[in-house]
Chain A
Amino acid sequence: MPLNIDLQQILLHMLNFVILFAALWFLLYKPVKKFMDDREASYKKDRDLAAEKLKTASDALDNLDAELKKKEDEANLKRSEIIAAAQKSAQERIDEAEKKAEKIVEDATQQAEDIRKKAVKRSSQDISELAVESVEKAVMSSASEAFEAFLKSVEEQNHE
């Protein structure tokens, strides 16, 4: 054949390579590949496990956040209620104090009025006494002087 191509030798080469292929496949490629695949699967399993744990932790964190938010809302609501109650209580106390103050002022006004009335009454009595005293004095001194003294004292009394 041209180029010294020999079918028998080609077949011998093929036989050689088939044997080599089988040997390399089963002795070298397959075990090394299996080891690499197993290791990759193990890493993948670890990664998946870690991802799952991370997800669980993340979910738990989300739940805690939600619960915390719920508690915060409840606390805010309670605080608002307490503030409202306190404000109401304060308002009631203020109203009560105002009422008391009004009553005190009213009582004080009443007392002042009574005192004024009493003072007026006493003044009238004093004026009467003064008038009696002036008359007595007038009897003892001249009538005109006594009368003028009386008028003067009345006038002063009025000014006061």
Chain B
Amino acid sequence: MNKKTKIISAAIFAVLIALLLVGIILTPGAEKEPIKDAMRDGVLHEDNKIALFGLEVNPGLISAYAVSALLILFAAAVRIFAVPRFTQIPGKFQSALEAAVGYFSGLARSNSPHRNGFLGAYVFAAGCYVAVSTVFELFGIQAVTTSGRSVSLPAPLADINGAIAMGVMSYGVILISGIIYGKARGAVNALKDFSLPISMSFRLFGALLSGALVTDLVYHYLPLSFVLPSVVAVLFTLLHAIIQTYVLTMLVSVFYGESTERHPKKIKH
């Protein structure tokens, strides 16, 4: 490529980009809900409801069902096609599965050395759910609201109901295991952390919602996507998924371990 061709190519690209920018700035775009309403709805889900078997539910619940359906399908496919073909020397896929199962079972074992069978399964399911549901918002699957508007399905845990469900269930697992295994002491241990369900719920809700709100805020204005390329948002979402998974599973494991801890009997002298 000679110098003249290079100059012509650069000029064509410059003109094209300039025309696009002018078009973007001058074009009013489709009418959409104001940012204030979008963000308010992002937090409260008051307006955009989706019909589900006669009920009006938040889009987050639809996301939760979609994520669960995806995970269950994947698990069934793995159980039917992959597990029977597992070998003593694992391949890449088997290694990845074993690494995930081994990580969560190791987390459960290290925090609750005496009783960790159920905890391992619980943190595995919770971890998969949190990770996949956080990444789910990246796909931008559309759903139609009862008002006929199209909305992008959010992360299930960005819905406060989903986050509360997750926090309360995790606390329930800790409390019930404390009562079963730790008897009165375990129950007291779990009950004294009565703020745990609230903190876990709102941590999940706040973390996921803040990410969603910032993304909404930035990408609500199209020109801003040139300033902050969308790949950055994707990377942040992936990082977010890992962090939230780690935090929730770690907290559940630690509190579960505390409530089911064995206390040696005091020797009477």
Q: Which A residues lie at the B interface, using CB under 8 A?
A: 3-6, 8-14, 16-21, 23-25, 27-33, 35-36, 39
Q: How far is the CB of A148 from chain B (nearest CB, A)?
A: 136
Interface footprint category on B: 35 or more
Judge whether B76 and A13 touch: CB under 8 Å. Answer: no
Judge whether A29 and B46 touch: CB under 8 Å. Answer: no
CA distance A93 to B15 in the complex (A): 127
CA distance A109 to B144 in the complex (A): 148
Judge whether A36 and B101 touch: CB under 8 Å. Answer: yes
Residues of A near B162 (CB, < 8 A) are: 13
Contact flag A13-B101 (CB < 8 Å), given A25-B125, A28-B75: no
- The total of interchain contacts (Cβ-Cβ below 8 angstroms) comes to 113
Contact flag A10-B72 (CB < 8 Å), given A29-B121, A36-B102: no
Task: Name which of A5, A8, A12, A29 has the most chain B CB atoms within 10 A of its CB.
Answer: A29
Judge whether B79 and A27 touch: CB under 8 Å. Answer: yes
- Which residue from B55, B122, B125, B156 sits with its C-beta under 8 Å from A13? B156
Judge whether B45 and A4 touch: CB under 8 Å. Answer: yes
- Which residue from A4, A9, A33 sits with its C-beta under 8 Å from B105? A33
Extra contacts, 18 of them, besides A16-B65, A28-B78 (Cβ < 8 A), are A4-B44, A4-B45, A6-B161, A8-B55, A13-B64, A13-B165, A13-B166, A14-B165, A17-B166, A20-B72, A21-B125, A23-B72, A24-B72, A24-B128, A28-B101, A29-B120, A32-B97, A32-B98
CA distance A14 to B167 in the complex (A): 10
CA distance A6 to B162 in the complex (A): 10
Decide if B61 is an interface residue (CB 8 Å cutoff). Answer: yes
CA distance A14 to B173 in the complex (A): 12
Judge whether B75 and A27 touch: CB under 8 Å. Answer: yes
Judge whether B125 and A36 touch: CB under 8 Å. Answer: no
Decide if B213 is an interface residue (CB 8 Å cutoff). Answer: no
CA distance A29 to B83 in the complex (A): 11
CA distance A25 to B166 in the complex (A): 17
CA distance A32 to B164 in the complex (A): 30
Residues of B near A12 (CB, < 8 A) are: 57, 61, 161
The 3 closest A-B pairs by CB, nearest first: A13-B165, A27-B75, A9-B161
CA distance A24 to B70 in the complex (A): 11
Residues of B near A3 (CB, < 8 A) are: 43-44, 160
CA distance A117 to B156 in the complex (A): 146
Q: How far is the CB of A14 from chain B (nearest CB, A)?
A: 5
Nearest opposing residue in chain A for B104, CB measure: A29
27 pairs, A vs B, C-beta closer than 8 Å: A3-B43, A4-B46, A5-B161, A9-B58, A9-B161, A10-B168, A13-B64, A13-B165, A16-B61, A17-B68, A17-B166, A20-B129, A23-B68, A23-B76, A24-B75, A24-B124, A27-B78, A28-B78, A28-B79, A28-B97, A29-B121, A30-B121, A32-B101, A33-B105, A33-B120, A35-B86, A36-B98
